[in-house]
Amino acid sequence: MMKLILDSQFQKLIEQGRATSAAQLEGADEPDHMPVVKFFTPDANCAWLISELDPDDPDLAFGLCDLGFGCPELGSVRISEIESVRGAFGLPVERDRHFVADRSLSAYADLARANGRIVA
Identify the pLDDT of residue 56: 96
Section 6-24 average pLDDT:
97
3-state secondary structure of 53: strand
pTM metric for this prediction: 0.95
Answer whether residue 109 is part of any domain.
yes
pLDDT digits (tens, 9 = 90+) for 31-42: 999 999 999 999
Section 94-111 average pLDDT:
97
Answer whether residue 95 is part of any domain.
yes
Identify the pLDDT of residue 2: 59
Strand ordering across the sheet containing 73-78:
73-78, 57-66, 47-54, 37-40, 94-95
Q: How far apart are CA 103 and CA 80, in angstroms?
A: 26
Answer whether residue 120 is part of any domain.
no
CA-wise closest residue to 120 among 52, 45, 38, 61: 38
Answer whether residue 63 is part of any domain.
yes
Q: What is the mean pLDDT of the chain?
A: 96
* Domain around 13: 7-115
State the total domains in the chain: 1
Q: How far apart are CA 57 and CA 20, in angstroms?
A: 14
